[in-house]
A and B are shown apart, each in its own frame.
Chain A
Amino acid sequence: DAGVTQSPTHLIKTRGQQVTLRCSPISGHKSVSWYQQVLGQGPQFIFQYYEKEERGRGNFPDRFSARQFPNYSSELNVNALLLGDSALYLCASTLSGGPFYEQYFGPGTRLTVT
């Protein structure tokens, strides 16, 4: 079975631009979460979506937004990029939306903002 897939693998953007990152969950999984991992730190929670609705949001500005589609894939959008947005963005899929389900992580999208 295919695991969590993310695209693109790498991305270079300029300050002020907008970026869209994509994630496809494991088949049958209905929940997707997004995390930001800055170099040298642990991942930080950004969003969780379950059945196309936002279930949780971390401490990130409104420049960050996301959505989940009927096929449970997800997009993360970041507007007005700052240098500090440079990070590895990880997507995780879960069978359901509750707190006891194991999260399976994708390989991530490395975003560099210049």
Chain B
Amino acid sequence: AQSVTQLDSHVSVSEGTPVLLRCNYSSSYSPSLFWYVQHPNKGLQLLLKYTSAATLVKGINGFEAEFKKSETSFHLTKPSAHMSDAAEYFCVVADQTGANNLFFGTGTRLTVIP
């Protein structure tokens, strides 16, 4: 079975400082992992995805994530937070047993302080 655990329900950073959102995964297969962002009253947007190519994945808006198999982690980072980054972030693992369904974490709310 696949699952993800987001280690922080809420992260608060100052504008211009680094962002770190933590995620651990559990998967019986070589996982497909994603980070999605959800702004208030907007749909989910894909930030980046890992599908067993390079372990360091670059996404949109300056975000990147590193797949670490030894630590079963897929943490999301950004060097410098912007006010527009304030949103809910979801770490996601894909079901690879047949259907194309996604298993979402519980989410991390990122607050950016001016």
Contacts and interface: CB of A to CB of B under 8 A. Distances in A.
A33 B95 CA distance: 13
Interface in B12-36: 32, 36
Nearest to B29: A99
A102 B49 contact: yes
Given A90-B44, A105-B43, A107-B42, A99 B106 contact: no
A58 B104 contact: no
A101 interface: yes
How many of chain B's residues touch chain A, expressed as a range?
20 to 34
Contacts of A44: 104
B43 A99 contact: no
B74 to A, nearest CB: 15
Contact of A103 (B51, B98, B102): B102
Contacts, number: 74
Nearest to B9: A40
Interface string B62-97: 000000000000000000000000000010101111
B32 A42 contact: no
B46 interface: yes
A101 B100 contact: yes
B1 to A, nearest CB: 12
Given A55-B100, A107-B42, A99 B95 contact: yes
Interface of A: 3-4, 31, 33, 35, 40-45, 48, 50, 55-58, 90, 92, 94, 97-108
Given A42-B90, A56-B101, A99-B97, 19 more contacts: A42-B92, A42-B104, A42-B105, A43-B102, A45-B101, A45-B103, A48-B101, A50-B100, A55-B98, A55-B99, A56-B100, A97-B99, A97-B100, A99-B94, A99-B96, A100-B32, A100-B94, A104-B46, A107-B43
